[in-house]
Amino acid sequence: MASVLKEVEARLGEGWRMQWGPPPRGVYLLKEVYMAELEEASAYCGEGDIVVVYIVAALEGGLNVVYGRVKPGLSKCPMATFMRRFAKSEARQAVKTLIDFATGVDKVPLFQINPELIRFAGLCDEYPVVCEDPVVVVSKLVAASARQQRQREAEPPPRPQTWLLEELVKILREKIELDAGFVEIVKKIVEDPERLKGCYV
């Protein structure tokens, strides 16, 4: 348990203090549907050093942004809450810190993050996929795909073997310039290409 708490403390950096117990009320960073129920977590509490961790960015004015994988409440599990106070002007940094922890340490996918918090913190420029309506995102992806398709169609088709043919013609011209007898060899090859295959068998 102590190693988990030290790891969380190290990842968060300075300014965070830990207290035992559930977090204060607030707005959850994760959509509630993706947070585990307390009963689910309680089933694992008797096994080893399990501790339920919450991280709270306490914004000036009384708004708490709470990150945790389990819905807070009464539980048999020990709970540790890491807390740090932020000025209201630091809302962007506070929410970004929690998102970085959730996605970097716990590997939470972005679609589980509460889009209202991202909008509130002014982070839509960094997480546009989360902020925008899914229908808008899909339509943008379809439009981008269509644009790429039109660009591919507008480009001239690649000339896969013509460069090879051009190189061969260039080499033949050089050989003919150096040795006039080479013209006779080329004529015989053109008249009977099968004869050339016989040289390589």
Cut 0.75: pTM above it: no
In the beta sheet, which residues pair with residue 46?
none
Tokens describing residue 50: 């399990």
- Write out 120-155 in H/E/C secondary structure: HHCCCCCCHHHHCCHHHHHHHHHHHHHHHHHHHHHC
Residues 6+ apart with CB under 8 A from 76: 42, 45, 46
Q: For residues 94 and 2, give the distance between their C-alpha atoms in angstroms, rounded to a whole number.
A: 25
Using a 10 angstrom Cβ sphere, with 0-12 exposed, 13-18 middle and 19 or more buried, the burial of residue 133 is exposed
State pLDDT tens for residues 103-121.
998 899 988 999 999 999 9
Directed axis angle between helix 2-12 and helix 91-104, to 10°?
A: 130
Copy the structure tokens of residue 198: 């016989």
The pLDDT score that the predictor gives to residue 24 is 93
Q: What is the mean pLDDT of each run of 10 residues along the chain (201 residues)?
A: 83 91 93 86 73 92 92 82 94 94 91 91 87 74 84 72 71 74 72 68 55
